[in-house]
């Protein structure tokens, strides 16, 4: 089954990275604003696998997950709580912007900020 651009973006933003790999351009760029940038399919996959390894050790609960569609872009606005085995909680607000060219993801730009717990 082919995934739509919306399904691809939602899978990636919900940390199901591997499902999205077949839909990437060979020249994909992943830009973590304020952090690292990865260029090329192999480098982006490597960064995703590293993230997936870490995410496998925490419990994730999304309290907000909004999707906005346009012709060649999908935007995911989310709020997630991450819990570690030591009961440490972290709440992260994220905005992921997916650009599609010729039916493939050509760029992912992510804005992430950890929110203070009150």
Domains of the chain, earliest start first: 5-115 (3.10.450.50)
Inter-residue contact 38 to 44 (CB < 8 Å): yes
Tell me how far apart the alpha carbons of residues 67 and 23 are, in angstroms, rounded to a whole number.
18
Task: Name the pTM for this structure.
Answer: 0.92
Taking residue 21's Cβ as centre, other Cβ atoms within 10 Å add up to 14
User: b/e string for 64-73 if b means 16 or more Cβ within 10 A?
Assistant: eeeeeeeeee
Tell me the chain's radius of gyration from C-alpha atoms.
14
pLDDT score recorded for residue 12: 97
Taking residue 109's Cβ as centre, other Cβ atoms within 10 Å add up to 17
Tell me how far apart the alpha carbons of residues 20 and 8 are, in angstroms, rounded to a whole number.
6
Q: Using CB atoms within 10 Å of the CB of residue 7, give its burial: 0 to 12 exposed, 13 to 18 middle, 19+ buried.
A: middle
pLDDT score recorded for residue 117: 62
| Binned average pLDDT, 10 residues per bin, the chain of 118 residues | 94 96 97 95 96 91 96 96 81 97 96 82
């Amino acid at each position: 089954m082919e995934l739509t651009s919306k399904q691809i973006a939602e899978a990636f933003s919900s940390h199901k990275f591997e499902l999205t790999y077949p839909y990437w351009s060979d020249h994909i760029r992943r830009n973590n604003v304020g952090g690292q940038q990865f260029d090329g399919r192999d480098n982006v996959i490597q960064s995703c696998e590293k993230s997936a390894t870490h995410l496998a050790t925490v419990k994730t609960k999304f309290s907000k997950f909004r999707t906005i569609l346009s012709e060649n872009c999908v935007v995911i606005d989310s709020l997630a709580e991450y819990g570690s085995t030591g009961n440490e909680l972290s709440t992260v607000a994220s905005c992921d912007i997916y650009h599609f060219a010729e039916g493939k993801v050509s760029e992912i730009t992510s804005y992430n900020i950890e929110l203070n717990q009150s």
